Amino acid sequence: MAQTTKPPVWFWIVAILLVLWNAIGCYFCVEQFRLGAASAMWEQTPYHQALYRSLPGWYNYVYAVGTFGGLLGGLALLLRERRAVILFWISLIAVIVQFGYTFAMTDLIAHEGAAKVVPFPVFIAVVGLFAIWFSGMAAKKGWIGR
């Protein structure tokens, strides 16, 4: 067992914010699983309905790995566990696979334009990178390590 030191107050604030961020993602993921196509079809254009129907079966599972991996990473931070780092990595890889497929294998960008569809996924990836950096920094400082 690694020796840990007491983290500063702002560590807890950041960890709680990461948990909340990922909990919101989990909520939307659960809704997509629960409602399935109906969730994606609600007030959607025919293009978006067809896009959702065309996604492969594994797509939603990758979405779940990304969101729940991030939530578990945030909870691991709160528990001061080093496994937060690997959980955030798993989450980020899933996010890259999910959005990589969306951008590379569909015509979403051509249909909607990059300025409309790319910024939020990039923001999600940046938050994921921040979570990896933050948990790694916390491990190096001895704030997490169990």
pLDDT averages per 10-residue partition of the chain, 146 residues: 80 99 95 71 76 91 98 98 98 98 96 96 98 98 91
The encoded tokens of residue 131 equal: 């979570």
The predicted structure's pLDDT at residue 46: 85
Q: What b/e readout covers 38-56, taking b as 16+ CB neighbours within 10 angstroms?
A: eebeeeeeeeeeebbeebe
The predicted structure's pLDDT at residue 1: 47
For residue 43, CA distances in Å to 21, 37, 105, 145 come to 25, 12, 24, 47
The predicted structure's pLDDT at residue 143: 97
Question: Whole-prediction pTM value?
Answer: 0.91
